[in-house]
Amino acid sequence: MKCPFCTAENTAVKDSRPAEDNTAVRRRRACEVCGGRFTTFERVQLREIIVVKRDGKRALFDRDKVAKSVTIALRKRAVGDESVERLVSGIVRKLESSGETEVTSAEIGDLVMESLKTVDPVGYVRYASVYKDFKDPSDFARFIETSALDDGNDEE
């Protein structure tokens, strides 16, 4: 592991333990050259997943992109970081256990929407507004009417 301060290759693990969410291993490292200390988080990756984008280009799956889009959708909502991490880990697990080495960006988007729908309906609609490229307010109304967000608590 390279030192982020001096880019030396000589780093030593000083402490290792499971991360708080148990989806990674947290390691405290020290650089043997400059003495800098830093933390890394290491996750088990079952297989490399290639994302096939709408324009046909291919890219390696990036867990952090999914986490960022979910975090944006849930900004200022009462959903904790731990719930976001569980949601993202669940999506990654589904992708890795599917047996497919290539998935489309649309499949990933659908998994994110499915997961958000169960966690926070507002975050679900926010994500959908970008994912489905809403153009005007009527798109929101149409989406909500057809998405079965109703929880059965009609007050009419």
The pTM assigned to this predicted structure is 0.69
Answer yes or no: is 1 within a domain: no
| Residue 23 and residue 92 in one domain | no
Answer yes or no: is 77 within a domain: yes
Cα 71 from Cα 65, distance rounded (Å): 10
Answer yes or no: is 33 within a domain: yes
Cα 136 from Cα 91, distance rounded (Å): 29
| Residue 80 and residue 136 in one domain | yes
What pLDDT, on a 0 to 100 scale, did the predictor assign at position 149? 60
| Residue 35 and residue 56 in one domain | no
**Helical pair 81-97 and 105-119, crossing angle rounded to 10 deg:** 140
Tokens of 47: 């297989």
- Is residue 109 within 8 Å of residue 117, measured between CB atoms? no
What pLDDT, on a 0 to 100 scale, did the predictor assign at position 148? 63
- Is residue 8 within 8 Å of residue 2, measured between CB atoms? yes
Answer yes or no: is 118 within a domain: yes
Answer yes or no: is 3 within a domain: no
- Using alpha carbons, list the distances in angstroms from residue 92 to 20, 28, 119, 130, 152: 18, 25, 16, 21, 31
pLDDT tens digits, the chain, 156 residues: what are they?
899 999 999 999 999 998 876 778 999 999 999 999 999 988 776 678 999 999 999 999 999 999 999 999 999 999 998 899 899 999 998 998 888 899 999 999 999 999 999 999 999 999 999 999 999 999 988 998 888 665 544 443
| Residue 54 and residue 24 in one domain | no
What pLDDT, on a 0 to 100 scale, did the predictor assign at position 153? 46
Alpha carbon 34 to chain centroid, angstroms = 34
| Residue 135 and residue 98 in one domain | yes
Q: In DSSP terms, which residues pair with 81 in a beta bridge? A: none
> Which stretches of the chain are assigned E, i.e. beta strand?
11-18, 25-31, 37-42, 50-52, 58-60, 102-104
Candidates 93, 87, 88, 96; CA nearest to 49 is 96
| Residue 27 and residue 96 in one domain | no
User: Domain span at residue 101?
Assistant: 50-146
- Is residue 151 within 8 Å of residue 118, measured between CB atoms? no
| Residue 80 and residue 139 in one domain | yes
| Residue 71 and residue 24 in one domain | no
Domain count of the fold of the chain: 2
| Residue 128 and residue 71 in one domain | yes
| Residue 38 and residue 58 in one domain | no
| Residue 16 and residue 87 in one domain | no
